[in-house]
Structure formats: C-alpha cells, structure tokens
Structure 1
Amino acid sequence: MKTVNFGILGASSFALSQMAPAIHAARGARLAGLATRSADKAAPFQGIEPDLDVFDSYDALLASDKIDAVYIPLPNHLHVEWSLKALAAGKHVLCEKPMAMTADQYDDLIAARDESGLMATEAYMIAHHPQWKMVRELLADGSIGDLRHVNAVFCYNNADKPENVRNQPGMGGGGIRDIGVYAMGCARLATGQEPSELSAHLTMESDFDTVARIDARFPGFGFQSMVSMRMARYQHVSFHGTTGTITMKAPFNAGAYDQAEICIEPSGTERRTIRFPEVNQYVLQVEAYCRTLREGAPYAWTLEDARGTQAMLDAALAGKVDQGA
C-alpha cells in the first residue's frame, strides 16, 4: 500500500485541531510537511509528527518531492490561487471549503484538475460520515414516503472575535461561506437534486452576512435554512416526507457538537434511533481521499459537487439585505 505524504499550507488552528491529527491517524496517509515561518506555530504540529518537515514558504513545500498531496486550510480568498499553484507543481489537492468564492471559479479548478490528471477536491467532510450515507439510502428507498420538506439550521456566535477571518469581508468571511456550505449543500448531498428557485434574507455587518434565512425549491420538496454567526451554538437537519420524518441531531460537527444520531419516525410505527459513537469524519475523509489516489475508488465529493453548492451560496449572497445586526 503506497502511503500518501501530505503537506499542509499554513499552521491554521483548524489544521492543528482537526486535520493534522486526522492525517496522522488515517490509514494510508502520512503527515509529512508543514509550510510556516513560525517555529512556535510549527512546534505543536511536530508534537503530532516528530519527523515533520517544516518549510519556510508555501512555494518551498510545493517544490518538495517528499510531498504527494497538499491540504489547504488558508483563508477563503486564497483557496483558488494556491489550489491552482499546487496542481501546477504536480501535487494532489484537498482544500477547505468553500474552495472558491464564486461558482464560475470552479471552472478553472476543474480545467486544471483535468489537464494535470491529479486529484483536486473540497474538504466537505460530512460527505464521508456514515450518517449521511444512511440518510441518502433512507430517502432513496422511501422510508418516509415522498420527501416534501427539508429544514437545516447551523448557528454559532463569534461576535466577540472581530479579528477572526469569518468576520473579515476581504478574506471571504461571513456565515454563508463558512457554514452555509453545510446547511445548503446537505440538501443536495442527501437527495442528489438541484434547486430550481432560491431566495434569501440577509443581515449584514461591515459587508459580510451574520444571519441568513434561505428559502429554496427543489423538484418535489421545499427547503428552508438559517445560518448565523450571531446566535447560540446549534445545528439540526430534518427531512419531512408523506409517511414519516428523519431528524439529525449533529449533522455537521458530529462528535464535537454532539454525538451523531438519526431519528426515523415512520407514521404509525415505532421510532428508531441510530447512533454513531466515536466516528471521526475527518479521518474517514482522508482515508477516502487516499483510496481514490491509490485505487481509483469513487470519491464522495467532487469539484462538480462543490460547484453546485457554491451556486446556491452565490444565489443566497445576492439575496435581500438588511444592514446592521
């Protein structure tokens, strides 16, 4: 089994808390490199992998023949630039979401992927969690009849962190780009369908959205969502059909927000609750990525999939705006 040697561009806090440990733990992967000029920032990564090669620039890491694939956790507005540079340097790419700022930017990424023959995709980790595979199967086999409505909520409050990149409009901040990719994209992930209509009502601060209420229409079902960076921490997804419902307790940050749990309630029959203890969706994402590189196995989330969700984000960001909190 060929081990995939990963390099990370930038010592972000998320890379340290989630993805570096996931790469280290994943079968078939090795945390091989980190690009940062800061010895202090490199130190905790070296605590995870003592043999880690530390590079003093992103370009130096991309030039190394010790690196097979690059994980990119940079601020949103830098994702396309460094994904394209990594592909040009002959590296496979796993880039944080949203991988681009607008849907049409995915066209350049897709073209570069196809021309290079390398793998490039967005780190949409929920696509690899078994709870979402189960929800797709339940919807497909008619466990709740015909799907009629989906509701998704994802909120947290970072008003006390003005320096955070999510509160920086010039760096691709705002709630829609940060968590709307989950609240909106999950409907596409679960059903395989695309919306025919979408409208949104946004509350803005300094040119980035802090609260967004979204209404959309998919073939056969309606969709409503709320995402916010100014409300108490909460997440929930529900699917309402003609003969039952499915609810998800921790649909996005499974294991961190709460234990992943699906409740299936068919009309007139006993409720079923299915739990997923100790599942690390970041490890599963890296292992799936490595299987695709080694064996050509199908991957659960392609650039085309990510482009479709970005089109929803673009439509939401064009919605009706209220200035001020």
Structure 2
Amino acid sequence: MTPIRWGILGAAEFARRFMGPAIHAANGAELYALATSSPAKAAGFADFAPGITVHDSYDALLADPAVDAVYIPLPNHLHVDWSLKALAAGKPVLCEKPMGLAAADYDRLIAARDAAGLLAAEAFMIVHHPQFIRARALVQQGAIGRLTHVDGTFTYNNAADPTNIRNRPETAGGALRDIGVYPFGAARFVSGQDPVSISHADLRLENDVDVFAQVAARFPDFTCTALVSMRMHPRQQMTFHGDKGILRLTCPFNANIFDMAQLTLETDGSSMITERWPGVNQYSLQVENFGASLRGAAAYPCPLEFSRGTQVMMDMAFAAGAQR
C-alpha cells in the first residue's frame, strides 16, 4: 500500500504533540511536509519525522505536487478559507474543529467538496474511537432501554494564558467552539438524533469570549445537558441514562491523555459491565479512516453533513444564550 503523504499547514503545538505523531504512526500514512516560517518550530516536527519537507508558506505547501492530503490545525477563524484553498488546489483536507463558525460555513465547504470531488472533513476524532462506536451500538440496540437523558461535561482552566487563541475573540475563541462540540457531537453521534430546541443556555463571557457555557437541549426522544468551561478544574464525562440502564464514559474526549478510555454499562439488577481501551490512539484511527476513504475502501465516518449538524446545535446555543 502506497502511503498517503500528508502536509500540515502551520506548526501548531497540538499538531506537534498529537496529530503530527499520529500521522507519522498511522498505517498507510506518511508525514511528508510542514508549512512554517519558523525553523525552531519545524525542528520539533523533525524530531519524530526526520527528513520532513518544510515549506515557508501555506501556499507553497498547497502547490507541492507530492502532498496527497492536507491537515489544518490553524486558529478557528482561518479554517474555512484555508480549507477552501486546499480544495481549490486539489488537496483533500482534514481540518480541526470547528471547521466553520456557523452552519452557512459548512454549506460552502460541502459545495466546494462536491465541486472538487475530493474528501473534506472536520477532525472530530472521538467518533473514530471504539468506545464511541460501542456506545452508539449499545444505546441504539436498547441496552439501556429507552434513552431519556444525556449529560456531558468537559472543563479545563486556561485563565493563566490570556494570549491563548481560545481566549481571544479575534481568533474565534471560546469554550463552546473549542470543546462544546464534544458533548454536542457525542450526544448526536450516539443517539442518531438532532436537537429540536435549546431550553436553556447560560454563557459567561470574559473579553467577549465565552469561558463557561451550561446548555440544556431537547431532542425528539430525550433531554440533554452540557457543561463546558475554560475556567474550571479539568473534568470530562458522558452519561447516557435510559429507563433500564445507564452507560457512562469516564474519559470520552481525551482518551489516554486525560485518563484511560473506559465504558461502564449498568442495567437492572445492578449488573455492571466495564470495557477499557488502554492503547488506542484515536488520532491515528482518524488518519487511517481518512486514508481508507481516499482509497475508496470505506465511507468516512464523520462527513461534513454530520459536522454541520453539530454546528446547527452550536448556533442554537449561541442564539439562546444571547437572549438571556
């Protein structure tokens, strides 16, 4: 199998620590190129990918005929434009979430994807992890009976880093855009449903950026609450509560970084089953699934249409929060 040669637009810290190594380790993939004008930042990638080609501009990387696919870890406000440029350059693109800032952005991306006939996707890595594939199967097969309520939490504290792009309005920062997509998308992926309304949205701002968001939503068959914050002690969990059981994911988002990925199913009679995935790298699985789709071997698990649905929920939450 000829490896897919990946190029990365920008030497982001996340790309250096996680996605770059994941591409390098993924089956059927090669971390071939990086676009950065900083030799010091490029050296951090060369440490694990010796011989990596370094371009001094994003345009130069997109013009490189040896690059088969592009990964974009740029700040949020740059995602749409550079994804469109990558598609126009004939490159399939995997872009960090949120790939767009409103549902209309995804309409533009979908149209450009279809016109180019190329794969374009948001890097929503959790749906590639076996814990979420297993959770979806259990819930949709009725393991917890009728799903009644979903609860999700994702928090961390970056108050000490005011220059971080997540704390800046001009880079489209904020807790909802950074981590709200996870409980929102997880609820949608596992249940297979979309929200019909937002019944409550408490958004607390600092410097015009939401640093705390508590959102309650109604889906066709269940209710959902989500709490995300950039000003609280780190915590993450997802709970799916039915009339005959409870399914818990104790490390749903940063598997094997925050903690070990673990699923616990509790049913009538106090029966409890626990499953763990100690060695799974969801970022590498994401790269491998992208490659499989490029080769025509499988449909991509997280198409732009799914990502647009999560953005619709995000737009609803922002609108409800603005009315408070």
TM-score by length of 1: 0.98
In the TM superposition, residue 317 of structure 1 has moved relative to its aligned partner by 1.6
CA distance in 1, matches of 2:166, 2:144: 37
Q: Is the partner of 1:2 in helix, strand or coil? A: coil
Aligned to 2:113: 113
Corresponding position: 1:169 with 2:169: yes
The one-letter code of the counterpart of 1:27 is: N
Secondary structure (helix, strand or coil) at the match of 1:319 reads helix
Q: Give the match for residue 79 of structure 2.
A: 79
Taking the aligned partners of 1:180 and 1:302, their CA distance within structure 2 comes to: 19
Who is 2:8 aligned against?
Answer: 8
User: Counterparts of 2:55 and 2:61 in 1: how far apart (Å)?
Assistant: 6
Contact 1:86–1:93 under 8 Å retained in 2 = yes
Q: Residue 257 of structure 1: SS of its match in structure 2?
A: coil
Counterpart amino acid of 1:187? A
Deviation at 1:322, TM superposition (A): 10
Shift of residue 48, structure 1, vs aligned partner: 1.3
- Mapping of residues 120-269 of structure 1, within 5 Å: 120-198=120-198, 199-269=200-270
Paired amino acid for 1:115? A
3-state SS of paired residue (1:65): coil
In structure 2, the residue corresponding to 1:50 is in which secondary structure? coil
2:314 is the alignment partner of 1:319: no
* Shift of residue 321, structure 1, vs aligned partner: 5.4
* Deviation sequence 1:22-59 (CA, Å, 0-9, x none): 00000000000000011001001111111110001000
Amino acid at match of 1:263: T
Which residue of structure 1 lines up, in the alignment, with residue 39 of structure 2? Answer: 39
Letter in 1 for 2:205: M
> Aligned partners of 1:158 and 1:315: how far apart in 2?
26
1:318 Cα deviation from its structure 2 partner = 2.0
1:254 maps to a residue whose letter is: A
Shift of 1:296: 3.9
The amino acid that maps onto 2:128 is H
Whichever residue aligns with residue 312 of structure 2, its letter is A
Q: In structure 1, give the amino acid aligned to 2:21.
A: P
Instruction: Report the AA paired with residue 147 of structure 1.
Output: L
Task: List structure 1 segments (4+ residues) > 6 angstroms apart after TM superposition.
Answer: none
Q: CA deviation at 1:320?
A: 3.1
Deviation at 1:267, TM superposition (A): 1.2
Unaligned stretches of 5+ residues in structure 1 = none
In structure 1, what residue type is equivalent to 2:147? Answer: L
Distance 1:258 1:269 in 2: 25
Show CA shifts across 1:213-261 (max 9, x none): 1000111100001000000000011011010100110000010000000
Quote the Cα distance in structure 1 between the aligned partners of 2:180 and 2:103: 14
Instruction: Give me the whole-angstrom Cα distance separating, in 1, the residues matched to 2:240 and 2:92.
Output: 36
Residue type of the alignment partner of 2:119: M
| CA distance, structure 1, for counterparts of residue 262 and residue 309 of structure 2 | 27
Which stretch shifts more, 311-320 or 133-142?
A: 311-320
After superposing the two structures, state which structure 1 stretch, 263-272 or 35-44, moved more.
Answer: 263-272
Amino acid of the structure 2 residue aligned with 1:145: G
Does the Cα contact within 8 Å between 1:200 and 1:215 map onto a contact in 2?
Answer: yes
Deviation at 1:183, TM superposition (A): 1.4
- Offset of residue 269 of structure 1: 4.2
The Cα shift of 1:2 comes to: 2.6
Matches of 2:3 and 2:295, distance apart in 1: 9
In structure 1, distance between residues paired with 2:165 and 2:101: 14
- C-alpha separation in 1, matches of 2:67 and 2:304: 22
1:203–1:321 Cα contact (<8 Å) kept: no
Residue in structure 2 matched with residue 92 of structure 1 by the alignment:
92
Amino acid at match of 1:87: L
AA matched with 1:119:
L
Say whether residues 1:271 and 2:300 are aligned partners. no
Please tell me the residue identity of whatever aligns with 1:238.
T
Shift of 1:316: 1.2
Contact 2:128 2:286 in 1 (8 A): yes
Report SS of the residue matched to 1:159. Answer: coil
In 1, Cα distance between the equivalents of 2:236 and 2:9?
A: 29
* Whole-angstrom CA distance in 2 between matches of 1:68 and 1:299: 17
Identity %: 53
* Structure 2 letter corresponding to 1:168: R
**CA–CA separation in structure 1 for the residues paired with 2:146 and 2:122:** 31
Contact 2:197–2:316 (8 Å) recurs in 1:
no
Unaligned runs of 5+ in 2: none
Say whether residues 1:308 and 2:309 are aligned partners.
Answer: yes
Measured against aligned partners, the alpha-carbon deviations of 1:100-139 in whole angstroms (never above 9, x if no partner) come to 0111111110011001011000000001000000000101
In structure 1, what residue type is equivalent to 2:114? D
Show CA shifts across 1:57-89 (max 9, x none): 000000000101000000000000000000000
